[in-house]
Structure 1
């Protein structure tokens, strides 16, 4: 049975830590992000986090039932940062494009945390707020519920999948990442046209493009496909209305 977690007002330390800070959930999450940045996902332990906070590791369990709950809180923080300042309204495609790029960017700002949290579902308030906002944009634009859910599913999974993929590359470290990127020129660009005609024909383009994330292009493709579906549905509705009027 997990340890009982009580309200923050009841579990807040009455005395500052050794570093002169009063612990809160927000401060623990912020410190956990720093520990992840410095030590990677394998380095996020209660002992190391307690040391970074200047508190006994057992103190963490007054705020979180375990390290897995802390992991979910970290993912919630990243989603919250993406939502900050974003408001739905105006063109639905532009709104979703901006939100997708915000989520992707928030995760890439903390690649180690992204690798740890992008695949998780927390059910926490800001995650729910993001899901409600995306579905709201789609339904308000006129997508039927079944289509709205299908596009929402593709949108959020695509965003988080690219966040995890791109974050994993950033988390490799500079030397390994540069080595991977150089292979487009050191290996692919030197493949002979007689054995690999298509790679040889596009080698320059591949070398220029493959070092960047494909997420913006994939996002635009998804939104264009969704817009095409919506236009077709509206045309069908107009046709049906015209037929019934006769």
Structure 2
């Protein structure tokens, strides 16, 4: 796609497409997510989008400058899907836990898109709302501004890193993914104790643990560290005896 963007006021298509639908930014983003899920990153082309939408491919230019602009909109939509489900409880750790698990789950529902978008900064409405929400949770809990930003950074980067890692596993073809799963059961679980005592001693737990995402446990570690940090920040220094 080129740089032929149409002015904001002229974007809406007034006539329906060949399939009787009226194009919108949301429709194009939802269709892009479906194409990426079904066919991978290579599906994000104007030609494929036009075919899926039943519209002339050039109509996409009314909404997006190029495919990267569209990809940022897709990234922002994934964030928006989390925010639309999130219901704050008022308890900061419960709220961060819920947000983190929702974010991770929403990316895992679209692993191909997750690999394309986890490292991107969209600067769009949903991402801005997410940054505001998380910083508000942390500042509301009593974290000073510098601490709130630091914990926000760790929380978000950890969530997105695990989302990308787990998405990469989900996006593997069935054969290689099953081979990796067998490696834990058929290689690691059978290593002898005399040569690999620590693996042999923990084999049963190791096989079970490595078969699932490490994100929930990592999230709890971050929340525990944040709680300890908040306690240190809020506790007044003891006077010298």
Report TM bin, short chain: over 0.9
- Superposition deviation, residue 96 in structure 1: 0.4
- Superposition deviation, residue 89 in structure 1: 4.2
Question: 2: CA distance between counterparts of 1:21 and 1:179?
Answer: 44
Instruction: Say if 1:36 and 1:44, in contact at 8 Å, map to a contact too.
Output: yes
Q: TM-score, normalised by structure 1?
A: 0.93
Question: 1: CA distance between counterparts of 2:44 and 2:180?
Answer: 27
Question: 2: CA distance between counterparts of 1:23 and 1:210?
Answer: 44
Q: Which position in structure 2 is the counterpart of 1:111?
A: 111
Question: 2: CA distance between counterparts of 1:128 and 1:11?
Answer: 23
Instruction: Say if 1:88 and 1:133, in contact at 8 Å, map to a contact too.
Output: no
Question: 2: CA distance between counterparts of 1:57 and 1:207?
Answer: 48
1:3 and 2:9 matched: no
Question: 2: CA distance between counterparts of 1:69 and 1:198?
Answer: 49
Question: 1: CA distance between counterparts of 2:111 and 2:197?
Answer: 36
- Superposition deviation, residue 190 in structure 1: 1.5
- Superposition deviation, residue 163 in structure 1: 0.6
Q: Which position in structure 1 is the counterpart of 2:181?
A: 181
Q: How is 1:202-241 mapped onto 2 (pairs within 5 angstroms)? A: 202-235=202-235, 237=236, 239=237
Instruction: Say if 2:10 and 2:62, in contact at 8 Å, map to a contact too.
Output: no
Q: Any runs of at least 4 consecutive aligned residues in structure 1 with deviations exceeding 3 A, and if so which? A: none
Question: 2: CA distance between counterparts of 1:206 and 1:174?
Answer: 22
- Superposition deviation, residue 117 in structure 1: 0.5
Instruction: Say if 2:135 and 2:148, in contact at 8 Å, map to a contact too.
Output: yes
- Worse overlay, 46-55 or 124-133: 46-55
Unpaired runs of at least 5, structure 1: none
